[in-house]
């Protein structure tokens, strides 16, 4: 065994021994005495025997993750006074935790301990951690802890980071109160139902995502500034905006995948006369004082003025309470994807000038309003996603006023591109608002790089529609009525890298001037052959799915195989007997056919085969089908001629018949 091991040893200046994945079942004893780091991960060690580390008195770091460890000998660390970091993840320490706790009690200098994935319950953890008063980092993720109380981490006064994700925690009762130095706490993927009376002022990152939390309520009486910078409550059951600390440094608030909504409209007691004007929050334990709050009371939101990222995507937000957004003067990213917004009045919301990303895609927006002065203030807005709404018009100067705009997505709304005759009239009055236009002008927006106009019911794209706009990425897919000529996008020939023309009824298109095009989507277009101009490009990605291709001629295939890195081809009905292209693509090492297993072909009897599973005998070897047709075409007249002459001969030379029949059919038989 040791001979085997030595092969894997490799010393660096820090005196590290790497013996991971070397098949050992005990600590190797033939390493230099002065090693400081020992890595024994992914081996078969079941016991860390007493004295097995005694030789290595300088050891600072021991990593023994993913073994079969059941027991730590109680004297194993006795001669390791320097040991600071111990990784015992993915073992079976639950089996003899009491015995093992005696070993851990002797390394009270330990700063870093990883006990993740050891099937530990809360009682086991309490016992294992008894004397580890110097711990700064503790990983208990992927265990089976259910509840925590003030005894759980007793004495861990130095703890800075605690990872408890992926346990089955449903209750936490003052477990962290004495962890005054704790800065990062991960409670993700547990079964917690609320976080109330949150008062950990020193905590910087709290991750409570993927639980069943209904309430997040910070202790509002604490006037001290909370150090909290990141709060992750993603994927819970929160339906009120969390009641954040009164003073904090909160910068990132992740609330996506909850059921958050605002209830300010209920305060309008003229419209909702029968509604009570306050709500009581019953503490689950029933004996702590109940909180009574006015639903629309702004102060409940707590301190949000330092927020930079607010992620409310996938919630139930129908509107922002008055003044809500203007309370966040530093906001850079506002993610409202998949909510219930119906109207967005940018002027009224007073979005801050720091705003960089605004995603309001997949809402129910019918109206977006903005006056030009306010738009000019949004000088940092670079990414705007309005896709999947019910918009039929937009403020006509929306995009030309946003000076940093680099990516716009208005896919799946019904907004066209203005034709030449519309362009003079910049204000096309639509509905009651004078500044709205049902078509957009995409000229001279010199910051814009990415434009997505998929599914916008586009018809004719006028000539030079994008002049002065240096697009690199243009998505026009899913506009089945699209009429586009190379002249419409001619100005983009020097900048365009990606062009999406999938499902646009494309017949042919001269791509030859788009020298910089790297990716092209022409899927779902009923193409029976590839546009010849494609071969002149330096394409890397080509999407040809769901067309009517039966083959790719060898000449084209050879050229494409040299250039393409990624290709999509499924949904075409290829001819099983004309798959030379497939063999070329397969051989091309740099090329990746992404949907290989879905590509099918039809044989001569119209049966469908998966190209990858194709039996090469289906076409009788490698001969092309056309050869057979030629042979058949020649054979039929020849046979006819032959028949006619035979009949002629037989009719007019009847005496020949018996001889012929005799010769051919009656073999001489001997009776
Ligand atoms: C706990 O650690 C202290 C030093 O901090 C040490 O004196 C004591 O013996 C340890 N307890 C046990 C049970 O080993
Ligand atoms: C804790 O351990 C788990 C599993 O071993 C790992 O995925 C996670 O990143 C660790 N946590 C930290 C904070 O290092
Ligand atoms: C919170 O934890 C989950 C699970 O480990 C992780 O996916 C997520 O990125 C974390 N959130 C933050 C803000 O780091
Ligand atoms: C509506 O409720 C507020 C607060 O409870 C109260 O001050 C106000 O008088 C009420 N208005 C009407 C019209 O009832
Ligand atoms: C709350 O109830 C628990 C048990 O039901 C009890 O131990 C505790 O003392 C109570 N707290 C208060 C403040 O009444
Ligand atoms: C909280 O409200 C519940 C339900 O009305 C009530 O039973 C309980 O006594 C209240 N507790 C306090 C401390 O007010
Ligand atoms: C948008 O908000 C501004 C400022 O509150 C207001 O003057 C304007 O009338 C609003 N526009 C619409 C269409 O509601
Ligand atoms: C613009 O947004 C980016 C990204 O959030 C940020 O780094 C930059 O500081 C912002 N600039 C201004 C002037 O707000
Ligand atoms: C815009 O949002 C939609 C829906 O949320 C998403 O599918 C799309 O990728 C986003 N567009 C861009 C350019 O990121």
- Expressed in angstroms and rounded, the spacing between residue 189 Cα and the centre of ligand 3 is 10
pLDDT band, residue 57 (cuts 50/70/90): very high
Residue 276 has pLDDT above 80, yes or no: no
pLDDT (0 to 100) of residue 84: 96
Tokens of 455: 């599914």
Q: In the chain, what is the straight-line distance between the N-terminal and C-terminal CA atoms, in Å?
A: 86
Q: Which residues pair with 452 in a beta bridge?
A: 409, 475
- Expressed in angstroms and rounded, the spacing between residue 347 Cα and the centre of ligand 7 is 7
- Expressed in angstroms and rounded, the spacing between residue 16 Cα and the centre of ligand 1 is 28
Which conformational region is residue 658 in: left (phi greater than 0), alpha (psi within -120 to 50 degrees), or beta?
A: alpha
Residue 64 has pLDDT above 50, yes or no: yes
Among 420, 375, 364, 415, CA closest to 398: 375
Of 387, 471, 473, which is best to mutate to test ligand 9, by the most ligand atoms within 8 angstroms of its C-beta? 387
Ligand 4, atom 12, residue with closest C-alpha = 269
Gap between the Cα atoms of 419 and 488, Å rounded: 11
Ligand 1, atom 8, residue with closest C-alpha = 106
Residue 294 has pLDDT above 80, yes or no: no
Span 194-232, pLDDT tens digits: 898 899 999 999 999 999 999 898 888 888 999 999 999
> What contacts 24+ positions apart, CB below 8 Å, involve 419-423?
419/460, 419/462, 420/462, 420/463
Q: Which residue has the higher pLDDT, 418 or 617?
A: 418
pLDDT band, residue 76 (cuts 50/70/90): very high
Gap between the Cα atoms of 540 and 434, Å rounded: 46
pLDDT (0 to 100) of residue 488: 86
Across 629-636, average pLDDT = 61
Of 252, 356, 382, 407, which is best to mutate to test ligand 8, by the most ligand atoms within 8 angstroms of its C-beta? 356
Q: Which residue has the higher pLDDT, 82 or 419?
A: 82
- Expressed in angstroms and rounded, the spacing between residue 412 Cα and the centre of ligand 9 is 11
Span 385-444, pLDDT tens digits: 999 999 999 988 888 889 999 999 999 999 999 886 665 554 455 555 567 888 898 999
Across 79-107, average pLDDT = 95
Q: Are strands 600-602 and 608-610 parallel, antiparallel or unpaired?
A: antiparallel
Ligand 7, atom 13, residue with closest C-alpha = 369
290 Cβ below 6 A of ligand 6: yes
Residue 148 has pLDDT above 80, yes or no: yes
Across 159-180, average pLDDT = 95
pLDDT band, residue 663 (cuts 50/70/90): very low
Distance, C-alpha 397 to centroid of its chain: 33
Residue 5 has pLDDT above 50, yes or no: no
Ligand 7, atom 2, residue with closest C-alpha = 348
73 and 50 Cβ atoms separated by less than 8 Å: yes
347 Cβ below 6 A of ligand 7: yes
Report the length, in residues, of the chain. Answer: 671
* The ligand 1 atom nearest the CA atom of 109: 5
pTM of the model: 0.83
Q: Which residue blocks in 361-431 are alpha helix, DSSP H?
A: 372-377, 398-401, 420-423
pLDDT (0 to 100) of residue 614: 77
List b or e across 230-242, with b for residues whose CB sees 16 or more CB atoms inside 10 angstroms: bbbbbbbebebbb
Q: Which residues line ligand 2 (CB under 6 A)?
A: 89, 116-117, 139, 141-142, 163
Average pLDDT, the chain: 86
Residue 529 has pLDDT above 50, yes or no: yes
Which conformational region is residue 84 in: left (phi greater than 0), alpha (psi within -120 to 50 degrees), or beta?
A: alpha
Distance, C-alpha 303 to centroid of its chain: 31
Residue 641 has pLDDT above 90, yes or no: no
pLDDT (0 to 100) of residue 108: 85
105 Cβ below 6 A of ligand 1: yes
* The ligand 7 atom nearest the CA atom of 343: 14
Percent of residues, the chain, with pLDDT higher than 90: 62
Residue 494 has pLDDT above 70, yes or no: yes
Instruction: Give phi and psi for 171, each to the nearest 5.
Output: -145, 135
149 and 125 Cβ atoms separated by less than 8 Å: no
- Expressed in angstroms and rounded, the spacing between residue 369 Cα and the centre of ligand 7 is 7
pLDDT band, residue 618 (cuts 50/70/90): low
Gap between the Cα atoms of 48 and 88, Å rounded: 11
- Expressed in angstroms and rounded, the spacing between residue 490 Cα and the centre of ligand 9 is 26
Among the ranges given (276-280, 324-328, 440-444), the one the predictor scored with the smallest mean pLDDT = 276-280
Tokens of 99: 């015995």
- Expressed in angstroms and rounded, the spacing between residue 383 Cα and the centre of ligand 8 is 12
Ligand 3, atom 3, residue with closest C-alpha = 188
Among the ranges given (36-40, 67-71, 72-76, 612-616), the one the predictor scored with the smallest mean pLDDT = 612-616
Residue 660 has pLDDT above 50, yes or no: no
- Expressed in angstroms and rounded, the spacing between residue 141 Cα and the centre of ligand 5 is 29
When computed from its CA atoms, the radius of gyration of the chain, rounded to whole angstroms, is 37
Q: Which residues line ligand 8 (CB under 6 A)?
A: 332, 354, 356, 380
* The ligand 8 atom nearest the CA atom of 379: 13
pLDDT (0 to 100) of residue 170: 94
Ligand 1, atom 1, residue with closest C-alpha = 131
- Expressed in angstroms and rounded, the spacing between residue 370 Cα and the centre of ligand 7 is 8
Gap between the Cα atoms of 391 and 394, Å rounded: 7
- Expressed in angstroms and rounded, the spacing between residue 259 Cα and the centre of ligand 9 is 21
131 Cβ below 6 A of ligand 1: yes
Ligand 2, atom 14, residue with closest C-alpha = 139
Three-class secondary structure of residue 638 per DSSP:
helix
Ligand 4, atom 6, residue with closest C-alpha = 269
**Is residue 625 within a helix (H) or strand (E), and if so which, with residue range?**
helix 625-652
Residue 45 has pLDDT above 60, yes or no: yes
Across 308-320, average pLDDT = 96
Gap between the Cα atoms of 156 and 138, Å rounded: 10
287 Cβ below 6 A of ligand 5: yes
Among 441, 569, 496, CA closest to 509: 496
Of 105, 127, 133, which is best to mutate to test ligand 1, by the most ligand atoms within 8 angstroms of its C-beta? 105
Residue 330 has pLDDT above 70, yes or no: yes
Of 263, 269, 278, which is best to mutate to test ligand 4, by the most ligand atoms within 8 angstroms of its C-beta? 269
Q: Which residue blocks in 291-435 are alpha helix, DSSP H?
A: 346-349, 372-377, 398-401, 420-423
277 Cβ below 6 A of ligand 4: yes
374 Cβ below 6 A of ligand 7: no
Q: Which of 309-313, 349-353, 367-371 has the highest mean pLDDT?
A: 309-313
270 Cβ below 6 A of ligand 4: yes
DSSP 388: S
Residue 99 has pLDDT above 50, yes or no: yes
Among the ranges given (16-25, 187-196, 579-588, 652-661), the one the predictor scored with the smallest mean pLDDT = 652-661
78 Cβ below 6 A of ligand 1: no
pLDDT (0 to 100) of residue 296: 57
Instruction: Give phi and psi for 637, each to the nearest 5.
Output: -60, -35
pLDDT (0 to 100) of residue 240: 86
pLDDT (0 to 100) of residue 366: 94
């Amino acid at each position: 065994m040791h001979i085997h091991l030595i092969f894997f040893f490799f010393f660096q200046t820090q005196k590290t021994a790497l013996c991971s994945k070397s098949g050992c079942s005990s600590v190797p004893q033939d390493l230099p005495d002065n090693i400081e780091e020992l890595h024994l991960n992914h081996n078969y060690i079941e016991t860390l025997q007493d004295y097995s580390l005694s030789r290595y008195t300088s050891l600072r770091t021991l990593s023994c993750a993913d073994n079969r460890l059941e027991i730590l000998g109680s004297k194993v660390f006795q001669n390791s006074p320097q040991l600071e970091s111990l990784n015992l993840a993915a073992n079976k320490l639950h089996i003899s935790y009491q015995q093992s706790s005696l070993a851990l009690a002797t390394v009270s200098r330990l700063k870093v301990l990883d006990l993740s994935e050891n099937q530990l319950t809360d009682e086991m953890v309490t016992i294992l951690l008894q004397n580890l008063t110097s711990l700064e980092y503790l990983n208990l993720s992927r265990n089976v802890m259910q509840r925590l109380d003030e005894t759980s981490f007793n004495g861990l006064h130095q703890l800075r980071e605690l990872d408890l994700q992926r346990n089955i925690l449903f209750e936490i009762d003052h477990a962290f109160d004495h962890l005054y130095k704790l800065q990062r706490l991960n409670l993700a993927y547990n079964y917690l139902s609320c976080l109330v009376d949150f008062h950990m002022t020193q905590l910087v990152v709290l991750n409570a995502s993927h639980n069943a939390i209904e309430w997040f309520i910070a202790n509002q009486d604490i006037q001290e500034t909370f150090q909290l910078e990141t709060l992750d409550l993603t994927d819970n059951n929160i339906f009120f905006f969390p009641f954040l600390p009164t003073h904090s440094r909160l910068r990132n608030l992740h609330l996506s995948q909850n059921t958050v909504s605002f209830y300010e409209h209920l305060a309008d007691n003229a419209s909702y006369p029968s509604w009570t004007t306050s709500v009581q929050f019953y503490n689950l334990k029933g004996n702590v004082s109940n909180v009574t709050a006015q639903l629309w009371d702004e102060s409940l939101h707590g301190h949000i003025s330092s927020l930079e990222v607010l992620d409310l995507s996938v919630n139930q937000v129908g509107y922002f309470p008055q003044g809500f957004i203007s309370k966040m003067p530093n906001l850079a990213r506002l993610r409202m994807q998949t909510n219930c917004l119906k109207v967005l009045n940018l002027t009224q919301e007073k979005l801050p000038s720091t705003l960089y990303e605004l995603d309001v895609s997949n809402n129910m927006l019918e109206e977006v309003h903005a006056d030009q002065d306010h738009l000019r203030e949004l000088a940092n807005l670079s990414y705007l996603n309005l896709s999947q709404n019910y918009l039929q018009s937009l403020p006509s100067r929306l995009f030309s006023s946003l000076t940093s705009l680099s990516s716009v997505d208005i896919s799946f709304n019904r907004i066209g591109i203005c034709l030449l005759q519309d362009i003079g009239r910049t204000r096309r009055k639509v509905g009651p608002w004078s500044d709205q236009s049902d078509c957009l002008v995409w000229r001279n927006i010199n910051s814009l790089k990415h434009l997505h106009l998929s599914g916008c019911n586009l018809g004719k794209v006028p000539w030079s529609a994008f002049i002065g706009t240096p697009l690199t990425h243009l998505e026009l897919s899913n506009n089945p009525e699209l009429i586009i000529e190379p002249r419409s996008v001619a100005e983009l020939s020097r900048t365009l890298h990606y062009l999406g023309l999938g499902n646009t009824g494309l017949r042919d298109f001269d791509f030859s001037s788009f020298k910089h095009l790297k990716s092209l989507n022409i899927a779902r277009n009923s193409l029976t052959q590839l546009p010849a101009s494609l071969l002149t490009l330096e394409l890397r990605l080509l999407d040809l799915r769901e067309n009517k291709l039966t083959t790719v001629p060898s000449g084209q295939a050879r050229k494409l195989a040299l250039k393409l890195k990624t290709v999509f081809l499924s949904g075409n009905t290829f001819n099983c007997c004309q798959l030379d292209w497939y063999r070329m693509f397969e051989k091309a090492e740099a090329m990746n056919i992404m949907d290989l297993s879905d590509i099918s072909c039809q044989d001569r009897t119209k049966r469908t085969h998966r190209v990858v599973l194709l039996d090469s005998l289906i076409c009788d070897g490698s001969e092309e089908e056309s050869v057979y047709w030629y042979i058949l075409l020649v054979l039929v007249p020849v046979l006819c001629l032959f028949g006619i002459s035979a009949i002629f001969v037989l009719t007019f030379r009847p005496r020949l018949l018996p001889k012929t029949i005799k010769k051919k059919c009656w073999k001489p038989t001997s009776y």
